[in-house]
A and B are shown apart, each in its own frame.
Chain A
């Protein structure tokens, strides 16, 4: 569980000149280096995405038109309309130019601008995965702290084995179980939650009732994902706090007569939080990538689902757009973690 190393993207590090002196550099220079590295990563992703998806087998016109486009003429009309008849270098230049001006192209399947499509699908994903990540982090840290502090106690035993059990369950299966139990209802238990979707047909999304309705729809999927993510945080927090428990400064604190709770919260936990911070920061970067299986089970129109389905066509522009946004999120989260580290721990700047 030694994840801190992952906070350095490697790309950023490679671009920096080797430090000539052992003296810590200024924060400005450190930050600049990291930002430049992140930009380079983004540029790299942009180029790779284009060619990566062109290597995919299949031809959009043929996938979409199977059984519909019966003449060559129809195939040509489709390819011409969406610029697929152009030579690849030409398409690449168009793609670069468009992306730089903020135009992500038009989806071959849905025939709407990709940026609109991503915007529509971003919110469900953020609400689902973001909320679940937040809950999992908060509850996980709480569980980890308490489990480690009373190592071998009932909470430790129960939470460690329970979170490991849930962790090893496939998310979709957990989701299906929850639907069967809490949505349809078992025995005397009534169906409390909807089986899927984001909102009721009548709900006005802009009203308070509409917001509550969406929260009601998201309860089960968020619960599923929170359970699935929980172990990650609980275990990291638990093990890093255990590392601290034997330290001398805690003995000192106790010797000063501080209450057990204060020793834990003021002295031990802050020092043990660093690895968990890394995990949280990284996972927030991955929020945008969505949670494909849970989105599928609960029929939540998120980015994960959008990307998976775009692969079938392959819908080049959608794939490029989603991957760009997802990579950008990870790179930004990574950058944020790096910048934060530089502030928290000056040793990192060397």
Chain B
């Protein structure tokens, strides 16, 4: 009651903010904090999103198909040997403090990454092979390479202003926050400016950059609010406290479907989950086997055969509640050009085919109904590991275990923490586990995890294949795009047939927006991709209030399917309603108390 009494006093504060000529504010609920606003330190995807709003990049990725398109660099050329890249840099870009942005800022930023310290840890791999970066004049940037790098010109490193960051030395960089200080926004060149927010904080506020060189955004402010649990975030969307929710579960998406004025869906995202086998854990010094993988999982034929026993569509439908799609190879179809799709018959759920292939490979059924190794000894029990911090991992492995049992193979599922699983993987004391990867805009990192070089590092299946490694080297230096795509396709084919990974599901991200308030968000890639948390800031620049949508200036409107229209905004509403509600609560509480007292005294009298 004490608390209830505060409400009428407080309500006017919030209600007042609703009146008048308010700036257009887009409020997004996110599920995780920004770990650093310093683009050389942060690691979380939320941080990447904030940097993209604040800074620009050498090149962008198109909203429709993720193709490389000009940004700060308007054009570029490569020397015959692929060792010299020359970029022409725009001359009409200024930093938010008025200084011009020149090629020197790019050279400075890349120079920091080529140096030592956290800059290198975060971004070093994107400048692989780069020896020197120079800016011979303000509109020219030159990269000199030791060996050709096929990933160029894609360098997703945010460009920071030299005149601010040159004062941050190596030691300071470790904790340099790059946050607004003394009421001054962070100096950047991007479409928005961070005016409020700290790493690990729970609210981040951006103001539009009216002079942005790609055109002023159509909203005045962006606010990100961190919610630590999903239910309240969805409630806040329904109530109208936020306009957008990122990263909700498939169940929540279902519950929001059909709500007036809200569009919710599972957007395709660039990640996958897989069942990974121990393809041969070894001691890196001696090359001797370590751990105790079952001989069966070391055999590619055995692993490939099990692929037919995995009912991927069933996993999508039951375990993932329909969010996502059946997985196939390690480069998701999100990156359509790079993705290689295996023949449909090799992806089919066909337990009979699995049994047939196992028989052919020598894993025949014994008298006890269990399969044996080719030498006739029992396979024993396969140790399958799932992750406790994933909602789907244990269910997937339980299904897998049942499918194995149907084939006559025993297994047991153990659920552990991800960090514990990392240790188990490095020790090689497992037969299979369930995990997943997020795949970069260039498939190089994903492809690298399957190379012999990554054994004991990021390789979690201990897979190692000479042909694959040779192709990895070739594609990394191949300057002819078509040829490179062909090599990348072949690499996926090799991994698919050797089957260190059985891909289960391509992930999706649950996203929901108040389509009665905002329109003109774009999907990357179109039409099933992400509304926000894209490569680049496409949606932030195209979004606008629903009543000003028009034709979105020709941009595709991925949110136009909305039933739209005029639902009550349900926000902190009229004072009458509020006051009435509070009065009601107080009356009820007071009444109960009085009644209790009365009865109390009545009983005393008896």
Interface positions of A (Cβ within 8 A of B): 56-59, 62-75, 77-78, 81-82, 106-107, 109-113, 117, 120, 135, 150, 153-155, 158, 172, 176, 179-180, 183-185, 188-203, 209, 212-213, 215-216, 219, 222-223, 295-299, 301, 305-306, 312, 314
Q: CB-nearest residue of chain A relative to B603?
A: A153
B419 interfacial by beta-carbon distance below 8 Å:
yes
Partner of A68 from B17, B122, B203 at Cβ < 8 Å: B122
Contact between B200 and A110 (Cβ–Cβ < 8 Å)? yes
Cβ A58 vs Cβ B6 within 8 A: no
- B41 contacts A by Cβ under 8 Å: yes
B13 partner residues in chain A, CB cutoff 8 A: 200, 203, 209, 212-213, 216
Task: Kindly specify which of B184-192, B221-229, B504-512 makes contact with the partner chain.
Answer: B221-229
- Are A180 and B235 interface neighbours, CB within 8 A? yes
User: B205-233: which have CB < 8 Å to A?
Assistant: 205, 223, 225-229, 231-233
Query: Is the pair B200, A120 in contact by a Cβ cutoff of 8 Å?
Result: yes
Question: Is B7 on the interface with A (CB-CB < 8 A)?
Answer: yes
B239 on interface, CB distance cutoff 8 Å = yes
Residues A70 and B458 in contact, CB atoms below 8 Å apart:
yes
- Could you say which residues of chain A place their CB within 8 Å of the CB of B380? none
A192 with B200: CB separation less than 8 A: no
Interface residue from B125, B203, B419, B600 paired with A197 (Cβ < 8 Å): B203
User: Is there an interface contact between B203 and A111, defined as CB atoms closer than 8 Å?
Assistant: no
Number of interface residues of B (CB under 8 A): 80
Least Cβ–Cβ distance between B26 and chain A, in angstroms:
12
Instruction: For the A-B complex with A111-B175, A113-B175 known, give 6 more contacts whose Cβ atoms are closer than 8 Å.
Output: A63-B418, A153-B600, A176-B232, A192-B581, A212-B9, A219-B6
Q: Contact at A189–B121, with CB atoms within 8 Å?
A: no
The 3 A-B pairs of least Cβ separation, nearest first, read A58-B419, A77-B121, A216-B10
Binds A, one of B321-329, B480-488, B570-578: B570-578
| Given A57-B420, A106-B174, A219-B7, A200-B17 contact (CB < 8 Å) | yes
Provide the bound-state CA to CA distance between A301 and B32, in Å: 11
Partner of A112, one of B118, B199, B238, B603: B199
A-B contacts, 23 listed (Cβ < 8 Å)? A57-B419, A58-B420, A67-B445, A70-B448, A71-B128, A74-B121, A110-B36, A111-B118, A111-B174, A120-B198, A135-B2, A189-B584, A191-B239, A192-B7, A195-B227, A196-B236, A197-B202, A200-B13, A201-B223, A202-B17, A216-B6, A299-B227, A299-B228
Contact A216-B38, Cβ < 8 Å, known A63-B419, A120-B198, A196-B236: no
CB nearest neighbor in B for A154? B599
Among B117, B118, B177, B573, the most chain A Cβ lie within 10 Å of the Cβ of B118
- B430-488 residues with Cβ-Cβ distance < 8 A to A are 437-438, 440, 444-445, 448-449, 457-458
**Would A77 and B43 count as touching, CB distance under 8 A?**
no
Which residues of chain A are near B422, meaning CB under 8 Å?
57-59, 62-63
CB distance from A342 to the nearest CB of B (A): 35
Q: B596 on the interface (CB 8 Å rule)?
A: yes
| A120 with B448, Cβ < 8 A, contacts A74-B121, A77-B120, A216-B6 known | no
Known A111-B35, A179-B235: A72·B457 in contact at CB below 8 Å? yes
Query: Does B132 count as interface, using CB distance less than 8 angstroms?
Result: no
CB pair A106–B175 under 8 Å, yes or no, is yes
The answer to whether B389 touches A312 (Cβ under 8 A) is yes
The chain A residue with its CB closest to the CB of B202 is A301
- By a CB distance below 8 angstroms, the chain B residues around A73 are 120, 124
Quote the shortest CB–CB distance from A319 to chain B (angstroms): 13
Cβ 8 A contact of B582, one of A62, A192, A202: A192
User: Are B17 and A154 in contact, with the CB atoms below 8 A?
Assistant: no
Given contacts A120-B200, A192-B581, A223-B3, whether A213 and B10 have CB atoms under 8 Å apart is yes
Instruction: Assess whether B9 is in contact with A184, with CB atoms less than 8 Å apart.
Output: no
Partner of A195 from B116, B203, B239 at Cβ < 8 Å = B239
The interface residues of chain B lying within 8 Å CB-to-CB of A113 are 175
| Contact pattern, B 560-599, Cβ under 8 Å of A = 1, otherwise 0 | 0000000000101100011001101000000000001001
- The answer to whether the Cβ of B344 comes within 8 Å of any Cβ in the partner chain is no
B174 touches A81 (CB 8 A): yes
Determine whether the beta carbon of A179 is less than 8 Å from that of B232. Answer: yes
Chain A residues with CB under 8 Å of B457's CB are 72, 75
Whole-angstrom distance from the CB of B270 to the nearest CB of chain A?
A: 11
Min C-beta distance of A267 to chain B, whole Å: 20
B residues neighboring A (CB under 8 Å): 2-3, 6-7, 9-11, 13-14, 17, 25, 27, 33, 35-36, 38, 41-43, 116-118, 120-122, 124-125, 128, 174-175, 177, 198-203, 205, 223, 225-229, 231-233, 235-236, 238-239, 241, 389, 417-420, 422-423, 437-438, 440, 444-445, 448-449, 457-458, 570, 572-573, 577-578, 581-582, 584, 596, 599-600, 603
Task: Report B347 CB to chain A, min CB distance, Å.
Answer: 25
* Chain B residues, CB < 8 A from A71: 124-125, 128
A70 touching B228, Cβ below 8 Å: no
Central interface residue in B175, B229, B449, by most chain A CB within 10 Å: B229
Contact, CB under 8 Å: B417 / A179: no
CB within 8 A of A179: which of B25, B36, B231? B231
Cβ–Cβ contact A109 & B121, under 8 A: no
Complex Cα distance, B242 from A200, in Å, reads: 12
Check A81–B235 contact: CB distance below 8 A.
Answer: no
Please determine whether A56 and B228 come into contact, CB atoms closer than 8 angstroms.
no
Q: B41 to chain A: which residues have CB within 8 Å?
A: 111
Known: A70-B445, A74-B121, A312-B389. A298 touches B36 (CB 8 A): no
Q: Which residues of B contact A223 (CB under 8 A)?
A: 3
A63-B418, A219-B7 given; A155·B205 CB < 8 A:
no
Closest chain A residue, CB of each to CB of B125? A70
Given A58-B419, A195-B239, the answer on whether A299 and B202 have CB atoms closer than 8 Å is: yes
Q: Are A192 and B231 in contact (CB under 8 A)?
A: no
| Cα of A107 to Cα of B10 in the assembled complex, Å | 37
**CA–CA, A270 to B587, complex, Å?**
34
Asked if A215 and B10 sit within 8 Å, CB to CB, the answer is: yes
Residues of A close to B177: CB separation below 8 A: 111-112
**CB–CB A154/B600 < 8 A:** yes
Q: Which of B33, B200, B231 has the most CB of A within 10 A?
A: B200
Contact B205 A190 (CB under 8 A): no
A190 touches B10 (CB 8 A): no
Give every chain B residue within 8 A of A68 (Cβ-Cβ): 43, 122
A17 → chain B, closest Cβ, in Å?
Answer: 45
| B120 partner, pick from A62, A74, A158, beta carbons under 8 A | A74
A78 pairs with B6, CB closer than 8 A: no
Residue of A82, A200, A203, A223 with highest tally of chain B CB at under 10 A: A200
Contact B124 A110 (CB under 8 A): no
Given A112-B177, A183-B239, residue A58 in contact with residue B423 (CB < 8 A): yes
Q: A216–B7 contact, CB under 8 A?
A: yes
Give the distance in Å from the alpha carbon of A264 to the alpha carbon of B326 in the complex. 71
Chain B residues within 8 Å of A180, by CB = 235
B33 CB contacts on chain A under 8 angstroms:
110, 301
What chain B residues lie within 8 Å of A66 (beta carbons)?
Answer: 458
Min distance, Cβ B42 to any Cβ of chain A, angstroms:
8
Residues of B within 8 A of A203 (CB): 13
* A176:B572 contact, CB within 8 angstroms: no
Per the bound structure, the CA–CA distance linking A344 and B10 in Å amounts to 42
B-chain residues with CB within 8 Å of residue A201 when the two chains form the complex: 25, 27, 203, 205, 223
User: Once the chains are docked, how many angstroms separate the CA of A62 from the CA of B35?
Assistant: 16
> Nearest-CB distance from A39 to chain B (Å)?
31
Residue of A nearest to B436 (CB): A67
How far apart sit A195 and B420, CA to CA, in the bound complex (Å)? 35
CB distance from B132 to the nearest CB of A (A): 18
Question: For residue A183, which residues in chain B have a CB less than 8 angstroms away from its CB?
Answer: 232, 235, 239
The residues of A that contact B43 with a CB separation of less than 8 Å are: 64-65, 68, 109
